[in-house]
């Protein structure tokens, strides 16, 4: 999978699945400095991801400030041909002043065995 560098930041595409509904997302920041993965509430709303009674709300802090998020277990999150099943992500507003549909964090990168080649601008799964 190719990395698209915009404003000095690495963006990739991912495919997500929630309750059997799949969605291909562009503009997902590949972020080894983020402990967790988060997707934009606006982007995932089209496949039925919504806050529901019983969802746990949490505050997260990052470069963009403090944000209230909720968690969901996705059927899978897939980068290229590498998918992690029953993967928990956070959902938030993500109004950061740029076009962004998510942040793929180290909680995905490490267990998926992703190898980031910053010279060739590719992401591969380690066999």
26's CB contacts (< 8 A; 6+ apart) are: 11, 13, 101
Q: Residue 42: which of 31, 30, 27, 54 has the closest Cα? A: 27
The total of structural domains in the chain comes to 1
pLDDT tens digits, 23-59? 999 999 999 999 999 999 999 999 999 999 988 888 8
pLDDT tens digits, 87-124? 999 999 988 778 899 999 999 999 999 999 999 999 99
Tell me what pLDDT residue 37 has.
97
Domain boundaries, position 119:
4-125
Q: Using 50, 70 and 90 to split pLDDT, how confident is the model at 125? A: confident
Tell me what pLDDT residue 18 has.
98
CATH of the domain at 109: 2.40.70.10
């Amino acid at each position: 999978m190719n990395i698209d560098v915009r404003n000095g930041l690495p963006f990739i595409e991912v495919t997500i699945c929630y309750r059997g509904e799949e969605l291909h997302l562009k503009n997902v920041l590949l972020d080894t400095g983020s402990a967790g993965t988060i997707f934009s509430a606006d982007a995932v709303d089209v496949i039925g991801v919504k806050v529901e009674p019983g969802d746990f709300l949490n505050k997260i802090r990052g470069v963009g400030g403090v944000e209230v998020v909720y968690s969901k277990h996705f059927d899978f999150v897939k980068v290229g041909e590498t998918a992690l099943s029953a993967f928990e992500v956070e959902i938030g507003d993500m109004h950061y002043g740029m076009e962004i549909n998510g942040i793929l964090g180290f909680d995905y990168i490490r267990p998926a065995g992703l190898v980031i080649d910053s010279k060739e601008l590719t992401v591969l799964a380690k066999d």
